[in-house]
Structure 1
Amino acid sequence: MTVEIALRRARVRYGPLEALHGLDLPLPAATVTVLLGRNGSGRTTALRALAGTVPLAAGRVEWRGTDVTRLPAHVRARRGLCFVPDLRAVYPTLTVAENLDLAAPGRRDEALAAYPELGPLLGRRAATLSGGERRMLALSRALLAPARVVLVDEPSLGMAPAVASRTYALLAALARPPRAAAVVLAEQRVPRGLPPGSLAYELRRGSLAGGREITAPWT
């Protein structure tokens, strides 16, 4: 597998607390990778470190072999990285339509094809949406952006089971050609419906505790 992006001996500190302890995490292209762990395990911090929204205290971030540790988050985004955090992932004062148009101008219909539930909500401000509706709106950006790296923290947060299943299928499709993106999800447990060849890594207290390849559809 070709490594798309990687953490190399990455350390992240929040004040006196170290959240990542020299984490080595290679993430291949054209693959769905799930970072598993309880709250405080470091999975969210790993996504933030890859995205550039938290600085490394030591180590580096490599993107296709190039050190991008010092590149700010907005530059990484311009280069093809899309990060959907678990919170503050939409513009709350803008309408659903405005959020979609900012994410992918002229492609609103594609977002509504993925999440038709957003159609009746186009005129509403994002701040008035339910948690699941906000997740659908936030994930529309990841589905439409021409990103080579897609990072999503808890994709199905607040979603109904049927919408969650559809979401994982949509994200898995991003790892297939022609996009062939590195799709990285932070979860507490392995979600259902991931395709064979997906990877699952368990983090504990900021360190890698184990990993495995999913060799059959996970149910």
Structure 2
Amino acid sequence: MNPLLSVSQLSVAYGGIQAVRDLSLEVAPGEMVCLIGANGAGKTTTLKAISGLIAPHSGSVHFDGQPLTRLPAHQVARRGLALVPEGRGVFPRMSVAENLMMGAYSRRDRAAIARDLDQVHTLLPRLTERRTQLAGLLSGGEQQMLALGRAMMARPRLLLLDEPSMGLAPLMVRAVFDIIRQIAAGGVAVLLIEQNAHLALKTCARGYVLENGVITLSGNAADLAANPAVRQAYLGE
């Protein structure tokens, strides 16, 4: 099977500092893949380069066989990639309902948008209860759910998730990851960045380990979780 996302030899520099070096990874259609590493390893930079928010110094990004490398972020999103950013990035002065519709801003298929909105409310009933509430007044977990719902309104084929568990209570982390698994079960591929390596490797089928901007290990999640170096560095064992 050809990969849905193919990143090859990607390098990104900030002011002379090499944040990511010669990074290559793949995500197959419908696959869940994680990218784990310490703070500052280059994980968020990688997602920003894939999604068009920053321009790589070199390398390439292909989605469904088509090049994305020099496209602006809004065109990348229209190809079928949706980014749920670190910190959730909801619009705090807009209602829950308005935030969800922002996810469909580039779509014109009103009947399909209405169907997708119904599906989001089925998947995330808490948002239905709060649809008239300002997003800024939601709890952190509810904002994460809203960010996921907004991304799904773009009808993505690939969901890019940046630290979805950050700042959430354990009970809410479980709820959010249950939702992510349901989204993936619906056929949406997932590339997950998550500092909780145990949770990431438990959730995903495959993973990559990023250290100082370089991929140092890759493989199926169970093998990575059993790797002594990964256990010591990221699993606290």
Identify the TM-score tier after normalising by the shorter chain. Answer: 0.7 to 0.9
Q: Which of 211, 214, 220 is matched with 1:213 structurally?
A: 220
- Per the TM alignment, residue 111 of structure 1 is displaced from its structure 2 partner at its CA by 2.6
Q: Aligned partners of 1:180 and 1:116: how far apart in 2? A: 21
1:111 maps to: 120
Structure 1 range deviating more: 153-162 or 205-214: 153-162
Please state whether the residue corresponding to 2:203 is helix, strand or coil. Answer: coil
Which residue does the alignment assign to 1:72? Answer: 72
Structure 1 stretch 8-17 or stretch 83-92: which is displaced more? 83-92
The alignment's TM-score, normalised by the length of structure 2, stands at 0.80
SS in 1 for 2:59: strand
**By how many angstroms is 1:110 displaced?**
2.9
Could you say which residue in structure 2 is the equivalent of 1:202? 209
Is contact 1:51–1:73 with CA below 8 Å preserved after alignment? yes
Q: CA RMSD in A?
A: 2.3
Alpha-carbon offset, residue 144 of structure 1: 4.1
Q: TM-score scaled by structure 1?
A: 0.86
Cα distance in structure 1, aligned partners of 2:101 and 2:72: 24
Q: Structure 2: which 5+ runs fail to align?
A: 105-112, 226-237
Q: Deviations over 1:132-164 (max 9, x none)?
A: 221111011234432111101012223333332
Partner of 2:168: 159
Is the 2:101–2:150 Cα contact (8 Å) retained in structure 1?
no
Once residues 119 and 162 of structure 1 are traced to their aligned partners in structure 2, the CA distance between those partners, rounded to angstroms, is 20
Residue number in structure 2 paired with 1:57? 57
Matching of residue 191 in structure 1 with residue 225 in structure 2: no
Contact (CA 8 Å) 2:42, 2:210: kept in 1 or not?
yes
1:18-41 Cα deviation digits (max 9, x unpaired): 110111112222110011011101
SS of the residue corresponding to residue 38 of structure 1 reads: coil
Q: How many residues get paired?
A: 213
Deviation at 1:127, TM superposition (A): 2.1
5+ residue gaps, structure 1:
none
8 Å contact kept, 1:35–1:200: yes
DSSP 3-state at the match of 1:47: helix
Aligned-pair CA distance for 1:71: 1.2
Higher share of residues assigned strand: 1
Map 1:14-25 onto structure 2 (within 5 A): 14-25=14-25
Distance of 1:207 and 1:25 partners within structure 2: 11
The Cα shift of 1:126 comes to: 1.6
Looking at secondary structure, tell me which structure has more helix per residue: 2
